[in-house]
Amino acid sequence: MKLYDYVLSPSCYKIRLLAALVGVELTLRPVDFHPGGEHRGPELLALNPAGAIPILEDDDVLLTESSAMLVYIASRAAPEWLGDGSAREGARIQQWLSFSHRLTATLGSARLHEMLLRPGDIRGLQSAGKQALRELEAALTEQRLSDVEFLVCDHPTIADIACFPYVALAPDGGISLEPYPSIRLWQRAIRALQHFIEMPGIHRLHELRPAPVRPEQGA
Amino acid sequence: MDLATLAWKIEGMFPNALCQWVPVALSVDVPAATVSPGWLPGLELALWRSAAGHIAASSNRCPHRGMRLSHGFVRGENLSCIYHGWSFGPDGGCVRIPAHPDMTPPATINSQNKAVLEAGGIVWVCDSNPKSPPPDFHGLVPVRSLTIEASLAALEAAARAVADGKGLLAATIDGVRIHMALAPLAGPQLLAHVLVAADSTCEDRIAASRAAEAFRRMAEAMSPESAAA
């Protein structure tokens, strides 16, 4: 599978993260999103006229929506990441995939405004982003009250991966994560998963490995 | 309500904030080997629990370069700063400076830990010598903590009740009875720890969490601060 990728894009990171967690190898094709604006150039517009990344190619499959890419990778390699096949879990996953686009439109737009000076009503974006975070916090709190660590069931699904990156990077858009204890512990559970990978701004849990030891002098 | 009156009301609730226990978090929200932010009036905290379960409340500022220690991590029995890895023990003393591995850090390097204890499922912190134990919320257990961007007056108006001497405010929303242990935050906002009767079922607790969301909507709509925003 070939991913048209930008290292600072949370949507591209969703795809890299799920692929790493389920052991799918991606061929990365770096895109000069900023400052080059390569995603709006002729080569990429031919693949995605919307002028957006990520883009995923696999033989005759061409996908331009990150949620669809998560479904595709999980279906191919790790169907347990799609829930148990029940109406309840399947629909709840779809619910969070749709919700994740609100996170992109609010937290993500606030981040683009603050980091890349994109135009926008920053107060309105931050306020709408905070509202989305409050909804996520309430849902995760209810899960915790039922002893469930993740958004849909007691193991991670693509719902968690779809929502995680824009939430984790909300402070880049001037939106604090400090008021949300359940979001804090949920992020921690995702970062503790085996084969978790980082992106700039989202680091691994250093404490999961022993403290580094200084090599002996002259070694 | 003007700001002076607001300050007076909150001061009335926390008459000696400097020598009084403040409920800063739920115990379950700071599990072993984690750190989270917390607040005393005018002071940011890094609340953390060691791998062995020891709770501590440090000033949220690394004495080295000022980084928030709540961005750090807990390895074993120590809290480490994310910036240069200075590590602090449960008593606040610096135990390790990675850039100077052969040096024993001087005792003056300290993360300024505050008095902390846990009672009734709540983490209580005090900035100086507490005169008395924290209040006993007998028969109640905590469900969740949430930030409400409203004044105490707006909360009391929404609850149609006043906070009692323990800082506890009760409200009934659509037939669901909740109690809230209140703590001050910076600006016109409060931290509310939602409590329910100890014999509540899982469904009762979820209902209380939803009632608290509805209560927050009411209180924030009534708050002059949010109306002005």
CA angle B217, B221, B224 (to 5 degrees): 140
Verify whether the Cβ–Cβ distance B73 to A206 is below 8 Å: yes
Contact A111, A173 (CB under 8 A): yes
Q: Tell how far CA B108 is from the center of its chain.
A: 27
Pick from A179, A182, A211: CB nearest B75 = A211
Q: With a CB-CB cutoff of 8 Å, which residues 106-145 of chain B face chain A?
A: 143-145
Question: In this complex, do B74 and A207 lie within 8 Å of one another by their Cβ atoms?
Answer: yes
Given this model, what pLDDT does residue B227 score?
A: 47
Domain ranges, ordered by start, for chain A = 2-79, 81-191
DSSP conformational letter for B223: -
Burial (CB < 10 A; 0-12, 13-18, 19+), residue B100, is exposed
Q: What is the pLDDT of residue B166?
A: 87
- pLDDT number for residue A24: 98
Nearest to A207 among B33, B36, B144 (CB): B33
Question: Is residue B90 a contact partner of residue B115, using CB atoms and an 8 Å limit?
Answer: no
**Residues in chain B closer than 8 A to A182 (CB atoms):** 29, 144
Nearest to A214 among B101, B146, B210 (CB): B101
Which residues, other chains included, contact A20 with Cβ-Cβ below 8 Å and sequence gap of 6+? A195, A196, A197
Give chain A positions within 8 Å (CB) of B213. Answer: 134, 138
What tens-digit pLDDT sequence spans chain A (219 residues)?
A: 999 999 999 999 999 999 999 999 999 999 999 999 999 999 999 999 999 999 999 999 999 999 999 999 999 999 999 999 999 999 999 999 999 999 999 999 999 999 998 999 999 999 999 999 999 999 999 999 999 999 999 999 999 999 999 999 999 999 999 999 999 999 999 999 999 999 999 999 999 988 888 776 554
Q: What is the number of helices (H) and of strands (E) in chain B?
A: 4, 14
Model confidence at B217, pLDDT cuts 50, 70, 90, reads very high
Q: Is B46 exposed, middle or buried (0-12, 13-18, 19+ CB in 10 A)?
A: buried
CA distance B82 to A177: 17
What are the sequence ranges of the domains in chain B? 20-126, 140-228
Determine whether the interchain pair A181/B36 forms a contact, defined as Cβ–Cβ distance below 8 Å: yes
Q: Which token pair is A187?
A: 């992020």
Amino acid in the structure at residue B196: V
pLDDT classification of B4: cutoffs 50, 70, 90: very low
Question: Nearest CA to A22 among A62, A90, A67, A79?
Answer: A79
Per residue in B14-72, pLDDT tens? 554 556 899 999 999 999 999 999 999 889 999 999 999 999 999 999 999 999 999 99
B225 pLDDT higher than 70: no
Three-state DSSP state, A178: coil
* Residues near A7 by beta carbon (within 8 Å), at least 6 away in sequence: A30, A199, A200
Residues linked to residue A3 through DSSP beta bridges, in sequence order: A28, A56
* Pairwise CB contact (< 8 Å): A207 & B73: yes
pLDDT recorded at residue B99:
93
Q: What is the CATH number that goes with domain B20-126?
A: 2.102.10.10
CATH code that applies to domain A2-79: 3.40.30.10
pLDDT tens digits for range B149-175: 999 999 999 999 999 988 899 999 999
What is the Cα–Cα distance from B134 to B118, expressed in whole angstroms?
9
* Length of chain B (residues): 229
Token pair for residue A54? 């990520």
**CATH of the structural domain A81-191, one choice from 3.40.50.970, 3.40.50.10860, 3.30.9.100, 1.20.1050.10:** 1.20.1050.10
Residue A40: per-residue pLDDT:
96
Distance CA B45, CA B23 (A): 12
CA B137 – CA B195 distance, rounded (Å): 9
Nearest residue on chain A to B190, judged by CA atoms?
Answer: A179
